[in-house]
Amino acid sequence: MSSEERRPRSLREVVFVDGVRTPFGKAGPKGIYAETRADDLIVRVIRELLRRNPALPADRVDEVAIAATTQIGDQGLTLGRTAALLAGLPKSVPGYSIDRMCAGALTAVTTTASGIAFGAYDVAIAGGVEHMGRHPMGEGADPNPRFFSEKLVDESALVMGSTAENLHDRFPHLTKERADAFALASQQKYAKAVANGQIGPELVTVATRSAEHGWGVATVDEPPRPNTTLEGLGTLKTPFRPHGHVTAGNAAGLNDGATGCLLAAEDVAQELGLRIGMRLVGYGFVGVEPEVMGVGPVPATERALARTGLSIEDIGLFELNEAFAVQVLAFLDHFGIADDDERVNPWGGAIAVGHPLASSGVRLMTQLSRQFAERPDVRYGLTAMCVGLGMGAAVIWENPNWEGNTP
């Protein structure tokens, strides 16, 4: 075929069809997944996506991209491919692993979505898993000594809690009191969303085992602390700095869990009769100083807005990852948004539900999609997060249920 005869290229609309996740667990020997393999968590997610979407033939899946931050052991071995095989997808379905630390699943989405837009795929599965109990962040890593000997980064850049303390230093008006109040609100909003049935339908049950207690079933998130009080938060230790600001109460914990979603070209979703949860508008990734990585979502959002021609006022719902309360507060202050704005994390966030690193991006997306279904008055939403080693990520989505679409 000559170059004159090749098929002309045109970008296609990409849609988020459906998302599910395991209940999130506490990392460590007493957590619900202490004796459960990481790859079994993501396999359970993939199987559930296919079960919930029977109109999708398994052989129509063109790619499986699964993120993990620590890609060793049961989170290694090209996890996207091995999980696809273990989940029973046809051997013709390829897969790969991806790592952008906390934004792993988010990057799995933007990467496969770009392939769909370009025409390389019609349908893809993207997600992430992190078993921080089995594989603590940084396990087996060997940072190049040049980072410190040549002062390429501050030594605090490799300790996420220290980077949050650095952010408090940079923005002293973001006090510990504000961070604690935001953390309390996250717990309260999460509890209310569970009581209202808004959180729960996206969960897939997971069989667990314990040598001591036998078999069990994980059905609900383990990390939330519904009895949290402002007074109690004020008494917690600041492990990253004496008399500091960051505590176990105003930061996400160490967690285990997996997430996954179905993405498709909009015309293919319509052809197959798949639901359309939301439509991809644009995204942005940026780098920032590693020692204040929590500020990353600010320039990432600015980039995404600039490249889509939107403004912050166009965003009607925000799903911001709560790695640390101070990181979200820095974002809100920059854009002139109140700490208690109802558009922000309306169902709570990672401070309550947990943050299994690479999996969290798809949790944000799944919740935003479900919120869109309830909010036809909202056209655009944002999912954003800070990323270890000094990065930020933001993705803008459009609500297909927006009432302005009605003739």
Residues that are catalytic: 102, 355, 386
Which tokens sit at 29?
């020997």
363 in Cβ contact with 353 (< 8 Å): yes
Instruction: Report which secondary-structure segment, H or E, holds 279.
Output: strand 278-287
Provide the sign of the torsion angle of the four alpha carbons 314, 318, 323, 327, taken in this order.
positive
Q: Which of 183, 365, 210, 337 lies closest to 281 in space, CA to CA? A: 365
d(CA 318, CA 346): 8
d(CA 360, CA 26): 14
Which tokens sit at 156?
């605090």
407 in Cβ contact with 399 (< 8 Å): no
CA dihedral 327, 332, 335, 338 (to 10 degrees): -170
Q: Which of 96, 36, 41, 25 lies closest to 67 in space, CA to CA? A: 96
- With tokens 């988020």, the residue in question is 16
- With tokens 């005869």, the residue in question is 5
d(CA 225, CA 203): 19
127 in Cβ contact with 359 (< 8 Å): yes
CB atoms within 10 A of CB 119: 13
d(CA 62, CA 369): 23
45 in Cβ contact with 204 (< 8 Å): yes
